[in-house]
A and B are shown apart, each in its own frame.
Chain A
Amino acid sequence: MMSHLPVLQVIVPLLAAPLCALVRHGRTAWAIAVASSWVSLWMAWKIFQLVQADGAISYNLGGWPAPIGIEYKIDALSAFVLIIVTLVGAVVTPYALKSVGREVGTSREALFYAAFLLCLSGLLGIVVTGDMFNVFVFLEISSLSAYALIALGRDRRALTASYQYLIMGSVGATFIVIGIGMLYVMTGSLNMADLAILLPELPSNRTIPVAFAFLSVGVCLKLALFPLHMWLPNAYAYAPSAVTAFIASTATKVAIYMLLRFFFTVFGVHFSFSEMQLGIILLPLSLIAIFSMSLVAIFQTNVKRMLAYSSLAQIGYIILGISFFSNTGLTAGILHLFNHAIIKGSLFMALGCVMYRLNSVELENMRGLGKKMPLTMGAFMVGGFSLIGVPFTAGFVSKWYLIQGAIEKGLWPVALLILMTSLMAVVYIWRVVESVYFSEFDESQNDDCTEAPLGLLLPTWALALLCLYFGINATLTTSGASLAAANLLRIGS
């Protein structure tokens, strides 16, 4: 049983999804979703422990050995990302009961959970597989279900947002499959480990750089790196709250995982960063993303949209760490994958609580909410301070490593810019603080506004407390991230 964990990790949610669609009963579907997401988390934790102890796990699907059969390969990085995805999934599904019931409507609840589980299994599949084409298949599974999930938003603009995402996402996926196809033509292999051996042996030719370019653009579209980010703000702003919390914390993270996998494992550090000079491309783009998106976030009136732009800036931080291609930089990037997932998860879930009571997340309508919904806003503040990077929150640890990475490379202006953009985060979070705590509540607008129900509060606070815990005791996350970084760099060199 334990030896089959890598495949079960994908199969459990993948089989639970049609089950949800078949039962057609909202509550039952929810129970199935919760059970399978918790089992996924448990399995991810087991895998994480195994990988930490014994190193990478390899699993041959159907008993066919690689490179003929499909290989599932889980190393330190995959195990780390598995934890992120399943953790957020396990927290969001219990939360969905109340939130989705209100925002999506009971008639479509069962279908919602089916799509949700499909999305989860697709994301997990990308992470566990060691086969290039398999990545594309799972990418499509997760993306298609994500489009459906976003379109379920109550606001009719969710439909156009989802459509926009569909178009951009399909372009990205097509680019990726073109890149994979070129690699296959040149090497005759789809197995990542195999490719890593075959590619450097090829005589110099133009196809490989072209494949590299297609894959880079495709993946960057998926992870919403500036300037390929246009689909993201609307998709996050109009999706149902639970979906935003889940997608924001996992989908872009898994896309970044793909980037790491392709560039470090398949192409290798030498090809990606010395021959293709990826660092020189990613560094300025991530800096622009961090700076411009933080700036845009300051001027948003819809808090959910503000956080969406903040996500774009945070993705910039992660890519920035990666662009240093040093041990510290990579550790910072991978660490921030996790930290940003729990931070944004808790923030979007707190906003879901506000949505549940107020039917709005406009800053204007949230005035004085600190007194009405103290626990919800408390969780929001924990997440917000963590986003800024206040000491003893998870965000501080990421920033610490990131700035270390910049200083190691001698990039002083970058280190200064990272800190300056933290100040911009202070500004946009402080706008919420002032409105929520230092303004009076408008009683005429909604006089029976009280604290959100426990079913929403508990999951929200679970993530908020994790933000605090991993700011106070970060040994688990930092050791996981630095092991993953060390693995990536060793494989590449």
Chain B
Amino acid sequence: MSYSQILCLIVIIPFIGAGLILLSGKYPNLRDSLGLLIAAVLCGTVYQLVEPLRKGYSTEVTLLEVTSGITLGLSVEPLGLLFALVASFLWIVTGLYAIGYMRSHQEENQTRFFACFAIAIGGTMGVSFSSNLFTLFAFYELLTLCTFPLVTHHGTNEAKKAGRLYLGILLSTSIGLQLLAIIWTWNLAGTLDFKENGILSGTASNTVLSVLIVMFVFGVGKAAVMPFHRWLPAAMVAPTPVSALLHAVAVVKVGVFTILKVAIYIFGLETLAELGSTPWLRWIVAATIILGSLVAFTKDNLKARLAYSTISQLSYIVLAALLANEFAIIGGGMHIAMHAFGKITLFFAAGAVLVATHKTDISDMRGLGRQMPLTFGAFLVGSLSIIGVPPAGGAWSKWFLGLGTIEAGEQGLLAVLMLSSLLSLVYLLEVPIRAFFSSPDGGQENVGIKEAPWPCLLAMGISSGMTMGLFLFPDFLYEMMRMVFSP
């Protein structure tokens, strides 16, 4: 099978999976094992593309041409492949987790849930391998629409209200700003293809491009740069597997990934670094980093706190794109993976607590560590990665990001990164510390171990194991990101 066929297959597999899940909806065991199988097949197929990329083959397919110049096309480049690998691998883990979670939580409409989940992954694959902005935009919107039923899964009024906010912000930013920016790009450059060194350099004045980058940064609402961040906490009404995979990995990373792609392949790093608005944007994004962390402090609901932590962390990657140098981009790309593994572990743990004890607030989790040592152990590992200290993978991406700020001559931003790490140290470690070192309310000791179902534990084990593994073996990620600059 040729590589271009494999590439098409990757985008198609999740949709086939969604179909199979719908067909086997009456048999939950068959449905769930099919789901896992599809996820494994997808991840394996994505991995097939690593070797040809290393050898320097370029794989590109044009699927169809809507009208002259607007094409649906796929291609492989290192950043996209890295993102696709992370997302497809974590789909397996989340699939495993979701089985334990959804069943023990006795959720309704599980078939619709798993099918939409598969489509969302399909959208993510499409975004990661898109070869031009139009294709990216189309899959981006697909992702928005197909996650709506997941957010409103419980069907309560609260869920519907959150769903409207979710859809409202994501659609209005993407249609109002992003699409306009895309059409403007087309107008300036006459193409939408992702090309090395960008397509916009020299096509318009510094002022015009400065406006354009602002439109892209805010138009990609999924990157949750303030003030367009409210959808992310709202989306936390969804079941935990959705928050874990989609709102810590797939959906939000599609946002920051888009910004990275635009920075590298539409503007070109050199052009971007010279724009008048770039220094301003860096500080706006830095403000999101700090404010996100500060708001996280005030949240007692664990998932809400994690959501604001995600907002803060996403802006690290947006900042990386705006720093526009090699170190920063490497750091940003690695952070997509590192944050994914760390944050998904945290969400898994939050969901496990909910399943086992029905507790959602941090203040209620005093002393729970004795009852659920594995869960809170995993939480600790995840927190370390988010903070960015050894022995967790997050340390590496922060390192490169720090180098990037110095390279760009923005020492102030280095201080912002350090401050944010300190803040996250406090708001994240508070949870395991309370769980392990405080005594439970009411005085009496909890007796015995009462953990979440085993699929949840296994999933948490894998993700936290990977988080630590990536600290010891970051070479793979580093090499992939290096290939962005020396293909």
> A: which residues have CB within 8 A of B?
389-392, 397, 400, 403-404, 407-408, 415-416, 419-420, 422-423, 426, 430, 434, 438, 471-475, 478
Contacts and interface: CB of A to CB of B under 8 A. Distances in A.
A420 B176 contact: yes
B29 interface: no
Contacts of B186: 404
Nearest to B177: A419
A473 B171 contact: no
13 contacts: A390-B141, A391-B134, A391-B138, A392-B66, A392-B72, A397-B70, A403-B179, A403-B180, A404-B187, A407-B187, A416-B180, A438-B160, A474-B67
Interface in B168-186: 171-172, 175-176, 179-180, 183-184, 186
Contacts of B66: 392, 397, 471-474
Interface of B is mostly: helix
B176 A423 contact: yes
Interface in B142-170: 152, 155, 160, 167
Contacts of B183: 400, 403-404, 407, 415
B121 to A, nearest CB: 19
A389 B171 CA distance: 12
B137 interface: yes
Nearest to B179: A419
A-B residue pairs, 9 tightest by C-beta = A391-B138, A474-B67, A478-B67, A403-B183, A407-B187, A419-B176, A423-B172, A419-B175, A474-B66
B141 A407 contact: no
B486 interface: no
A216 B62 CA distance: 46
Given A403-B180, A419-B176, 16 more contacts: A391-B137, A391-B141, A392-B138, A397-B66, A397-B70, A400-B70, A404-B186, A407-B183, A407-B184, A422-B175, A423-B172, A426-B167, A426-B171, A471-B66, A472-B64, A475-B65
B67 A475 contact: yes
B67 A434 contact: no
Contacts of A475: 65, 67-68
A420 B175 CA distance: 8
Contacts of B67: 397, 400, 474-475, 478
Contacts of A472: 64, 66
Contacts of A478: 67-68
Contacts of B176: 416, 419-420, 423
Interface of B: 64-68, 70, 72, 134, 137-138, 141, 152, 155, 160, 167, 171-172, 175-176, 179-180, 183-184, 186-187
Contacts of B72: 392
Contacts of A430: 167
Contacts of B68: 475, 478
Contacts of B167: 426, 430
A423 B175 contact: yes
B291 to A, nearest CB: 27
B205 to A, nearest CB: 14
A472 B134 CA distance: 12
A13 B172 CA distance: 46
B175 A434 contact: no
A426 B141 CA distance: 13
Contacts of A415: 180, 183
Contacts of A389: 175
A449 B134 CA distance: 41
A388 B180 CA distance: 15
A438 B172 contact: no
A438 B152 contact: yes
Nearest to A475: B67
B162 to A, nearest CB: 13
A423 B171 contact: yes
Nearest to A407: B187
A468 to B, nearest CB: 11
Contacts of B171: 423, 426
Contacts of A391: 134, 137-138, 141
A483 to B, nearest CB: 13
B7 to A, nearest CB: 19
A304 B254 CA distance: 38
Given A391-B138, A474-B66, A408 B187 contact: yes
Given A426-B171, A475-B67, A478-B68, A434 B160 contact: yes
Contacts of A422: 175
B258 to A, nearest CB: 15
Given A397-B67, A473-B66, A438 B155 contact: yes
Nearest to A399: B179
A403 B138 CA distance: 17
Contacts of A392: 66, 72, 138
Nearest to B64: A472
Contacts of A438: 152, 155, 160
Nearest to A471: B66
A466 to B, nearest CB: 15
A80 to B, nearest CB: 16
A276 B64 CA distance: 44
A39 to B, nearest CB: 31
Contacts of B138: 391-392
A389 B184 CA distance: 17
A419 B141 contact: no
Nearest to B140: A391
Contacts of A473: 64-66
A397 B180 CA distance: 14
A218 to B, nearest CB: 35
Contacts of B160: 434, 438
Nearest to A478: B67
Nearest to A420: B176
Which one of A408, A419, A422 has the highest number of Cβ atoms from chain B below 10 Å of its Cβ?
A: A419
A438 B167 CA distance: 15
B340 to A, nearest CB: 27
Nearest to B63: A472
Contacts of B187: 404, 407-408
B237 to A, nearest CB: 14
A403 B66 CA distance: 17
Nearest to A416: B180
Contacts of A426: 167, 171, 175
Interface centre among B134, B155, B179 (most CB of A within 10 A): B179
Nearest to B211: A412
A420 B172 CA distance: 8
B129 to A, nearest CB: 16
A386 to B, nearest CB: 13
